[in-house]
Amino acid sequence: MSFKETYEKIIESEVFKKFIDENPNAELIAGFFIIDFISNDTKNSIDYRINDKIFTFDLKNDGFVKMTEDKLLDNPNAPKLLKLIPEIKTEVEDLKGLSGIETLNKGISAKFNKIIAVLQNQEKEGKTIQFWNLTCMLDGLIILNISIDSNTSEIIKFERKSMMDMIRKK
């Protein structure tokens, strides 16, 4: 399901309407999607921030919207969460194709098993960039970290890691 469809279904839900009526200054700060190509276990959610609290609106498969509240973690090294603009050109459905093409260009032919995709904004070189931050799990214990501009579909970052590298570091 696309970001746009998820966003529209959530903002039309009663739980969201009640939340936004009580919190008109809440800011959209992230979209979170899990695309599982093996088990079809997907997740579609969006996050709003009010001061130091995060409210996650999770769109369930049956169309039900569940809201959960979390405290924003105070991590000085983490990038600041910036307000998102919900109009994007590169959608969730585009991510596997864009990632797959770049993966093949890098000489990696392993099959995609899962993509964890986060739509977010970051400040880089004095400019705000809205992008998809992907963690892709492939056959052969390959993990890819890919960033894709949400408006131009440009690959901003591509890093290959191995699950074994992560195990050795610990």
- Give the CA dihedral 160, 154, 115, 20, nearest 10 degrees: 140
For the purposes of burial, counting CB atoms within 10 Å of the CB of 12, is it exposed (0-12), middle (13-18) or buried (19 or more)?
A: exposed
Q: Strand, coil or helix: what is 60?
A: coil
User: Tell me: the pLDDT tens digits for 142-160?
Assistant: 999 999 999 999 999 999 9
- What span, in angstroms and rounded, lies between the C-alpha atoms of 91 and 94? 5
The pTM assigned to this predicted structure is 0.89
Q: Which amino acid is at 135?
A: T
User: What is the chain's alpha carbon radius of gyration, rounded to the nearest angstrom?
Assistant: 17
Nearest 5°: phi and psi at 153? 70, 15
Domain locations in the chain as residue ranges = 3-169
User: Tell me: the pLDDT tens digits for 27-78?
Assistant: 999 999 999 999 878 999 999 999 889 999 999 988 899 999 988 666 666 6
